[in-house]
Amino acid sequence: MKINHHLQTKLLNAAENLCLAISYITLTLYSKMSEEEKPALEAMVASAIVLALDDDEVLSKDGSVKDADKLIFRATGYKVKVHKRKISSISELPDGKYSIVNYEYNGKNHWVGFYGSEAIYNSLDKSQCFSYGKPTDARILEFID
């Protein structure tokens, strides 16, 4: 018997592009969790990402998001409508809503999670794009009951 999951290869191929997918799943789960559940958030997100990498309808093999609404639903069980918007300033984000903002710097980009105008989640410990770059796009999450 041989196990053919190739987990490290999947993660290595997708690592550079997973920030948007990770942020979608993290913000959705975080917004719905009780305080007692939150310590398990990272493990839940990691598991959801591994499963999503095998779902060609929601993620490319390189970790790029193909269908945000489907990704979030399949990974979390919650229905969310993602609204795309061009922005040039964080002040353009809606108050009281979760958003994911793309920062660009020196030809690279990185997505960061916000609640209103406050950055609350970054999938990287340090990001030059976030530290020195400018916001260009936002994905605003609308939770559907």
Q: pLDDT digits over 71-111, tens only?
A: 999 999 999 999 999 999 999 999 999 999 999 999 999 99
Which residues, including other chains, have CB under 8 Å from residue 34's CB and lie 6 or more apart?
A: none
| Mean pLDDT, residues 61-68 | 95
Which residues, including other chains, have CB under 8 Å from residue 3's CB and lie 6 or more apart?
A: none
| Mean pLDDT, residues 46-60 | 93
Asked whether residue 106 is domain-assigned, the answer is yes
Asked whether residue 22 is domain-assigned, the answer is yes
Asked whether residue 86 is domain-assigned, the answer is yes
User: 139: pLDDT confidence band, cut at 50, 70 and 90?
Assistant: very high
Asked whether residue 101 is domain-assigned, the answer is yes
Single pTM value for the model: 0.93
Asked whether residue 2 is domain-assigned, the answer is no
Looking at the structure of the chain, the number of domains it has is 1
Q: Determine which helix (DSSP H) or strand (DSSP E) holds 141, and give its type and residue range.
A: strand 134-144
| Mean pLDDT, residues 129-137 | 98
pLDDT at 84: 98
Helix (H, G, I), strand (E, B) or coil at 109: strand
Q: CB–CB of 66/53 below 8 Å?
A: no
pLDDT at 56: 92
Ramachandran category for residue 81: left, alpha or beta (phi over 0 → left; psi -120 to 50 → alpha) = beta
State pLDDT tens for residues 10-39: 888 888 899 999 999 999 999 999 999 999
pLDDT at 31: 96
Q: What is the pLDDT of the chain when averaged over all its residues?
A: 94
Angle between helices 41-52 and 68-76 (to 10 degrees): 120
Q: Residue 66's CB: how many other CB atoms inside 10 A? A: 13
Alpha-carbon span 17 to 23, nearest angstrom: 11
- Write the CA distances from 30 to 5, 142, 145, integer angstroms: 28, 14, 16
| Mean pLDDT, residues 124-139 | 97
pLDDT at 17: 92
Asked whether residue 1 is domain-assigned, the answer is no
Give me the domain span that covers residue 38: 7-144
Specify the DSSP class assigned to residue 20.
Answer: H
